[in-house]
Structure 1
C-alpha cells in the first residue's frame, strides 16, 4: 500500500476514535465552548459544551455537557457536591438516590457526559457508556444550571464554557 494512502487511512481512523460521545448522543452536536474548573487553584475538571451545530446555548434545544476529570473523586464527592450545588442554586431536590446510581468514583481522565432530553430528563454517560437517565421536573435547568446558569460558582468559567 502506498505510504500516503496508509497515512491518510491512519489519520481517518484516529479521528473516528476521538469522535465525542455527544456527537453520537444527538444529531449535529458540535462543541460550543470549553473551560477548566479550578477549586482553590487546583484543576478539577475540563468541561465542554455541545450544542446543535455549535450554536449558542438554547435551553429548549438538546445539548450536552462533558466533564473530563483531572483528579480522582469518590462517588460521595460527586453526589454530595451536586446536592450542595442544587441546594445553593434553587433548593434541594429529592434526587440523591438516583444520583448515587448515576455516578461512580472517577479517576483522572474519566469522563461524564450529560445529554438533555427535554426539560425533565438527562441521560448520563461515563466513558462512553450510558449509566442512567435522571428524570425529575425541571431537572435540565436545575442540574445543567450548576455549570451553565446565571448563578454558577464562576461566571468567567460559565462564559467560556458557553463560548461567550
Structure 2
C-alpha cells in the first residue's frame, strides 16, 4: 500500500532536511582545523563599527590556505552601505581597474550574501582557495560565490598590505606583537 499524501509530504520534508543539513551547519564544520589567528576592532571617525576575527590553520594567513573572517557589528549598517564600501575598497586595491561588468557581478554576489546588520550580528566569510567563498550570517549559510577572483579581492580589504587599516591587518594576522616588540 502506497503512503498517504500527508506521509509522502513528511518523507519528502525529511529527505530535504537531510540533504540541506550541511547548508545549515555553521562555518566551523567547513573549516574544523582552524584556530583564532588574530582579532581587532575597526573604527571610523571614532566610532567602533565592528570587531574582526581571523581564523586559519596557519599563521600568518596565506592565499593558498582556507580561512574564515568574522565581523561582529557594533552599529546598524544597511546592506547597500556594506556593498558600496566593499566595492570602493576592492576598486582601490585592484592592480587594474575591474570592468563595469565585473563590478556589477561582484555587487550582485554581495547583495545575495549580505543583510542589513544590527549591533551584535555577525557576518563570517570563508575564503576557499581556487573555489571562491561562502558567507554566513549569524552562523547560517547565506551565499556561496564560485569566483576565486571575487574572493581574493573581497578578503584583500582586510589582508592586503595596502589595507585601509594596517594595524587591524597586523592584529588579524597575529603580527601585532612582533611590531611592538621590535
TM-score normalized by structure 2? 0.74
Alignment check: 8 A CA contact 1:111 1:127 kept: yes
Point out where structure 1 has 5 or more consecutive residues left out of the alignment: 1-20
Q: How many residues align?
A: 143
Matched, 1:56 2:60: yes
What displacement does 1:137 show? 4.0
Point out where structure 2 has 5 or more consecutive residues left out of the alignment: 1-25, 176-182
TM-score normalized by structure 1? 0.82
Structure 2: how far apart are the matches of 1:22 and 1:48?
13
SS of residue in 2 equivalent to 1:85: helix
Matched, 1:39 2:50: no
The structure richer in helix per residue is: 2
What displacement does 1:136 show? 2.2
| Residue of 86, 92, 113 corresponding to 2:124 | 113
Alignment check: 8 A CA contact 2:59 2:174 kept: no
Structure 2: how far apart are the matches of 1:152 and 1:120?
23
